[in-house]
Structure 1
């Protein structure tokens, strides 16, 4: 395949079909590239409550700067580095640690700069900043990051790396149209992300109010007409039985789904020639591995060797939500420290405060609806991200 054929994207806007081929450009010829030259003896005690903003990578999520979280520095500290005083149209990104994570500066209405872990790209007029921001989300820039990460124990992007960075681009009108189109997708993704976070926050609030704290006998919020006190039990007293899973190596075929950590965390399905020893009411806990102590529910199949299943006497959905609310406590207090493993005495020691089965059922069903809502919002977000990635693959050379 010739170089000319390579520089035509698979997908173009109709008015640009048959237009001239894209060019390969060197970023240093078309942009000013700057970073903060060290801290210049900046000390933690010099930070102020009000003053010019100083942005770090931790303040950027999915291209959005959280201006409520940025640091602030004295005016004279801002003035001493004019080369990195931010302007609308600038692109900033992390050059140390977690490389990349770019943000496009827009609607800037106050003084702002970057800290020493960041780099700034200020493009000339022949390159659209909204287009180049998308370049930094595409495989072209990700390939550079991959090389830097794999080639160093301490990943770092030097100014020279960005100066020599080669990228493919059409003429500026096509750049702008591509950038604006993908910006609309980014806005949809950001909106969907907020919906997902809102659903998660709502569930977290209800978990706090509908389950009692350690020093409480009853929760703050209850269903109307229910007054029976909650009763403390050991975990072993609210389950009929518990059992460990079996290894996959001795089981072949496709009789039932093999329930291992990979599948439970969203990985691919695999099948084994074994009976279904887990039903949908059972509560599962990962017994070994880095995520030991993680709790699951709502699965049916053959239990994997790193998991244990609890068969509840009453509502499995309630028991799952109770354990999930206390997930961090399980991690902190019921795992071995060096090689993560749930302690053998977990079921004998862990305390479960149980209401009447009528309230258990109501609580379990309520949180199942919330979990379904969260799963739906996550599915919508994943779909939008897949669409965005497909366009990045097809609209860029």
Structure 2
């Protein structure tokens, strides 16, 4: 593909269409048919009946079969069944952030219909092109402008608003080429997503089995050579110092962020098991770093913990570069005679500890924990440092593999977004 710029022609076009006609203006209804779903009563529910597609069937712009799917009696369905190539779109929801979410259906379960809070978009043969078009900037701008609601109001997408939207489309053969291109991209993204999800499930299973269940002192699964009960301690018995600069900002220090320098680590880029350096990017120069960190340099392997929004994410400092410890994130200096950094990182993500943290959390929508709350936390740890290190090393390797797949997935999504931006008018 090569890049060209011309009126009503996308920035990026397949080579065989470089000299093809400009795209034509149409209305959305000219290339699709839009239908609203149906409503049903509780008395219509029948587990052997017709599957009803709802919001749980759209996950990350992908159609999925949900364990929560509802089935109703066939007599309650007054619209045609869904077919492969149809596009499911959220038309009404209690949150405007969910209105307009869409997913193409490529493998529809037999006898499925759509709930009234959704619209079903049926098209001609070029449904893959339409699906890609609905992922482009045109559709995002449309949703932002036309979806009613906000500030807690119920969002609603009106059929006529969508049907009357002006769009630009190429000839059929170019539509097919674009549709196939993004279909392959979606398949690649879905493949990496499945691999990532599988690794996360494996990790979750090991976290359950390699830490004692509630009320017990020994885990179900252990490395060879280790026996005996684990020891219960207060969490802070394992910690020499908590580095906590919550609430600190450059403005409060009479300074500003810089264009480059030391990276700030906040609750937005401390993910579960890794640091996302593309989120909430801020930098501090030397003067701001010195005034902010006041000698509390972070070190490689040190455990970071998010206290709020989100609460409970755990990662480790990835290298020996200097970092600024920013919003809603704290760091622990461990007592090396009691616990290793790698084990502490896993311990804080174990099922029992996460459950206890939620019970200790305070706040409304944004749950959070303070040092006072953490002082009430009790943990169970292996007495032998070697067992701690074995467990820590195992999960560190698993986290590295998960982070690798996450980076690949993020890269693919960014590439898709870039192509969507350049391949549509």
Instruction: Report the TM-score when normalising by structure 1.
Output: 0.89
Determine helix, strand or coil for the equivalent of 1:100. coil
Q: Distance in 2 between matches of 1:366 and 1:72?
A: 43
Determine helix, strand or coil for the equivalent of 1:264. coil
Aligned 1:277-356 pairs, distance under 5 A: 277-287=297-307, 289-298=308-317, 301-304=323-326, 306-313=328-335, 314-326=339-351, 328-338=354-364, 340-355=367-382, 356=384
Q: 1:19-51: per-residue Cα shift (whole Å, max 9, x none)?
A: 1110111022333221035x2xx2224212122
Please say if residues 87 and 122 of structure 2, whose CA atoms lie closer than 8 Å, have aligned partners that are also in contact. yes
Name the structure 1 match of 2:385.
Answer: 357
Please say if residues 256 and 276 of structure 1, whose CA atoms lie closer than 8 Å, have aligned partners that are also in contact. no
Q: Distance in 2 between matches of 1:124 and 1:283?
A: 54
Question: Residue 163 of structure 1: CA displacement?
Answer: 1.4
Q: Does 1:58 align with 2:74?
A: no
Name the structure 1 match of 2:417.
Answer: 389
Q: 1:123-176: per-residue Cα shift (whole Å, max 9, x none)?
A: 246xx1111111111111111111134765322111111211221110111101
Q: Does 1:94 align with 2:90?
A: yes
**Residue 270 to residue 157, structure 1, CA distance change in 2 (3 Å):** same
**Residue 306 to residue 106, structure 1, CA distance change in 2 (3 Å):** closer
Name the structure 1 match of 2:172.
Answer: 172
**Number of equivalent positions:** 385
Determine helix, strand or coil for the equivalent of 1:242. strand
Question: Residue 285 of structure 1: CA displacement?
Answer: 2.9
Determine helix, strand or coil for the equivalent of 2:47. coil
Determine helix, strand or coil for the equivalent of 2:155. coil
Please say if residues 295 and 320 of structure 1, whose CA atoms lie closer than 8 Å, have aligned partners that are also in contact. yes
Aligned 1:146-165 pairs, distance under 5 A: 146-149=144-147, 152=150, 153-165=153-165
Whose strand fraction is larger, Structure 1's or Structure 2's?
A: 2
Please say if residues 346 and 392 of structure 2, whose CA atoms lie closer than 8 Å, have aligned partners that are also in contact. yes
Please say if residues 49 and 72 of structure 2, whose CA atoms lie closer than 8 Å, have aligned partners that are also in contact. yes
Q: Distance in 2 between matches of 1:217 and 1:204?
A: 19
Q: Does 1:72 align with 2:85?
A: no
Question: Residue 204 of structure 1: CA displacement?
Answer: 0.4
Determine helix, strand or coil for the equivalent of 1:7. coil
Please say if residues 281 and 311 of structure 1, whose CA atoms lie closer than 8 Å, have aligned partners that are also in contact. no
**Residue 280 to residue 352, structure 1, CA distance change in 2 (3 Å):** farther
Identify which range, 139-148 or 295-304, moves more after superposition. Answer: 295-304
Identify which range, 325-334 or 69-78, moves more after superposition. Answer: 325-334
Structure 1 gaps, min length 5: none
Name the structure 1 match of 2:141.
Answer: 143
**Residue 225 to residue 392, structure 1, CA distance change in 2 (3 Å):** same
Q: Distance in 1 between matches of 2:297 and 2:109?
A: 61
Identify which range, 22-31 or 214-223, moves more after superposition. Answer: 22-31
Instruction: Report the TM-score when normalising by structure 2.
Output: 0.83
Please tell me the root mean square deviation across aligned C-alpha atoms, in Å.
2.5
Please say if residues 232 and 353 of structure 1, whose CA atoms lie closer than 8 Å, have aligned partners that are also in contact. yes
